[in-house]
Structure 1
Amino acid sequence: MNPEMTLPFGGETPVFASRPVWCGRDSTVIGSARIGAQAWLGDAAVIRADGQPVVLGDRFWLGHRSTVHIATFDQGTICGDRVTVGRNSVIHACTLGSDVVVEDDVVILDGASVGDGAVIEAGATVFPRAELAGGFAYAGSPARPVRPIELGEVAERAERIRERSAEGIGPDSDPPQDIDPDVFVARTARLRGRVGLGAGASVLFCCALEAEAGPIVVGADTNIQDNTVIRSRGEGVVIGRDTTIAHNVRIADCRIGARSLIGIGAVVAPGTLIADDVMLAAGATTDPGQILESGYLWGGRPARILSPLDADRRTMMLRIVESYCQHGRDYRQAQEQLAG
């Protein structure tokens, strides 16, 4: 069984050491990915190596709606053998050893390293460049060691994650057929209801935009990255132009301004108002009705001001938007060639 969608990127095509044991519905593998024997990919699992390599060892297990990605300009992702990743987690531009368990709703960020035989417990965030020694269980945001752990318990935790795999992610609706030619919507993304996408916007792989009540409106040149879920069950969701919504974000009825960045794995609660020029850190959450003022980096659970949004961060945010506009054009062309 092969992934439902495989795309080249930059002339590189994914390579599997052997045919995967299982590839779930909408599973997607892209670019310079090298994946070991006996891989298992859940529903809406995404491995995206578009700009740097992803190297995954034997018996790699990626749970439903989880994402493996790279830092486009400078760092790939490497995992050892027998790595198990639960649901809705993100492995991003980092290095994991062998016999590592990453539970549900975990974010591991750029430059981090995790040693052999470690467990990252559900809901934890591993901060950029953190070095986590093997043989411990880690929890919290930032992830900190909570106790030593033996390989036998690591294997038991991995097995519990794998036992839940039969649950899947449930049915999704089909994407709309009348997408503007300046917009990229991945074939594995799912849009339902009144969804408006501005020129140059991109909705990447395995995202779900569900306008059950009010509309979802996405501004021009805004990118919605892999496995993000946006649901409107009330007044709707409005996202301004030139904004980045990173991997595996959860967004309910809210307003997000222009030129903002919502970090990996963040959760934006109903009624949140995020002003223009805001960065919300990876793994952060907002409270219902919270207002995030312009010009700051916000982080934490619930989010609080961490620092002013300096020139370097603003430049980085603009660079991401420009990069994803190009990604959208490249992916649209590759997807059209695949369909042809």
Structure 2
Amino acid sequence: MSASPFVLPYHGILPVYPDLLRAGPRAALIGRVTLGPRAALGTLALIRGDGHVVEIGADFHLGDWGTVHIAHEMHPAIVGDRVTVGPDAVVHACTVGDDCVIEEDAIILDGSVLENGVVMEAGTIAFPRSRLEADTLYAGAPAKPVRRIDAAERAARAARIRALASAPPPPPPAGGAARLDIHSTTFIAANSSVSGAFKADAHASVLFSCTLDARNSEISLGENSNIQDNSLVRCPDGPVVVAANAVVGHNVVLESCTVGTGSLVGTGSRVAPGTVVEPDVLLAAGARTQRGQVLESGFLWGGNPARRIAPLDDKKRQMIPWIISTYCEYTADFLASQHRAAQRASFG
């Protein structure tokens, strides 16, 4: 059965996806993506190739809210045949061999290599430049080998993930319920959902497959800041404020919190209500804050619950403006592409 995901080019290059079996509601393929035959994409699943390429083999499965992305001009995402990726997992700028299974909420970070037949248990994080050995089960953060795994157990784990029921269709994209106060250069991806009051300054962006729900409060995004793919932002106890020049990574959850200028919230993090991320903070991938926690400026924080790990050095500080600059370039291209697509649709 064929399917039609949301598709957008990058620098004029469209994804290639022959014989797509299924695309759930608001699943998206963006830019320089080559997807092998018989792929299945869950609800809000996202594969994005902009500053580098994504190449994926046959029989790929990406669960609900799963994300595949690259690192600008440094690392592509290369995925082999018969790979299974569970819900809310992130495959980022890495190489994944054949027959791998990446369970729910697992994260693979830049430059990592998974050899054939690796299984990552739910919640496992492969830190940057990790190498995971073939036919081995991994768990923990950072990922550590647990034991060898045979083909039968690996197939059973893959089958469990592929059999998971898809999430119900999410609300429609930004429209009647949204109250937008945004600059003309703000980018909101067409397959992202915004409800309630949302304010954004120049060159701010909400990337693909995100859900923003302000309820009776407000979400605000400062100049040049971005909320990356498959992130969930909501306001159960008050507003969410993301200051200028801040980065919110892939598959993050922000709830009634503040993210300060020049800070980065890493992939897969969960920021609890009342959290204050002060300016000049780096929150590591997969971290979890506690309600009302204050993350002090000038430090790398990580873990569950989040704790101070080390002072930020110049190398880490330089990473954030580089990401900001790169994302401003990405989203200017996406904004123009999305505008052209809307114009074509309006003319039938």
Q: Which residue of 1 aligns with 2:94?
A: 94
Is 1:190 the counterpart of 2:189? The answer is no
RMSD of aligned residue pairs (Cα, Å): 1.3
Q: Which residue of 1 aligns with 2:341?
A: 338
Q: Which residue of 2 aligns with 1:291?
A: 294
Would you say the 8 A contact 1:64–1:169 is kept in 2? no
Shift of 1:167: 3.0
| In structure 1, distance between residues paired with 2:116 and 2:151 | 9
| In structure 2, distance between residues paired with 1:319 and 1:196 | 24
Is 1:135 the counterpart of 2:138? The answer is no
| In structure 2, distance between residues paired with 1:213 and 1:133 | 49
SS of the residue 1:176 aligns to: coil
Q: Which residue of 2 aligns with 1:247?
A: 250
Q: Which residue of 2 aligns with 1:147?
A: 147
Q: Which residue of 1 aligns with 2:158?
A: 158
Shift of 1:213: 3.3
Aligned mate of 2:235, from 226, 232, 240: 232
Shift of 1:174: 3.0
Would you say the 8 A contact 1:213–1:234 is kept in 2? no
Is 1:214 the counterpart of 2:217? The answer is yes
Task: Extract unaligned runs of 5+ from structure 2.
Answer: 344-348
Q: Per-residue displacement from partner, 1:52-86 (whole Å, max 9, x unpaired)?
A: 11110100101111100000121101111000001
Shift of 1:169: 4.4
| In structure 2, distance between residues paired with 1:127 and 1:230 | 25
Listed as ranges, the matches of 1:1-340 within 5 Å are: 1-16=2-17, 18-164=18-164, 166-176=165-175, 179-340=182-343
SS of the residue 2:268 aligns to: coil
SS of the residue 1:29 aligns to: strand
Q: Per-residue displacement from partner, 1:244-301 (whole Å, max 9, x unpaired)?
A: 1010001111111111111111111111111001110111111111110001111111
Q: Per-residue displacement from partner, 1:85-109 (whole Å, max 9, x unpaired)?
A: 0101110000111111111111100
| In structure 1, distance between residues paired with 2:131 and 2:70 | 18
The worse-fitting range, judged by mean Cα deviation, of 201-210 and 282-291 is 282-291
| In structure 2, distance between residues paired with 1:53 and 1:30 | 10
| In structure 1, distance between residues paired with 2:4 and 2:271 | 30
Count residues with an aligned counterpart. 338
| In structure 1, distance between residues paired with 2:160 and 2:168 | 17
Task: Extract unaligned runs of 5+ from structure 1.
Answer: none
Q: Which residue of 1 aligns with 2:346?
A: none
Shift of 1:148: 1.4
The letter for the 2-side match of 1:73 is E
| In structure 2, distance between residues paired with 1:214 and 1:140 | 36
Shift of 1:235: 1.5
SS of the residue 1:191 aligns to: strand
Alignment TM-score, normalising by the size of structure 1: 0.96
| In structure 2, distance between residues paired with 1:313 and 1:305 | 15
| In structure 2, distance between residues paired with 1:65 and 1:168 | 9
Shift of 1:8: 1.6
Alignment TM-score, normalising by the size of structure 2: 0.94
The letter for the 2-side match of 1:300 is G
SS of the residue 1:167 aligns to: coil
SS of the residue 2:163 aligns to: helix
The letter for the 2-side match of 1:285 is R
The letter for the 1-side match of 2:53 is P
Would you say the 8 A contact 1:3–1:26 is kept in 2? no
The letter for the 1-side match of 2:244 is R
The letter for the 2-side match of 1:85 is V
Would you say the 8 A contact 1:23–1:41 is kept in 2? yes
Shift of 1:155: 0.7
| In structure 2, distance between residues paired with 1:107 and 1:169 | 24
Runs (4 or more) in structure 1 with deviation over 3 Å come to 176-180
The letter for the 1-side match of 2:142 is P
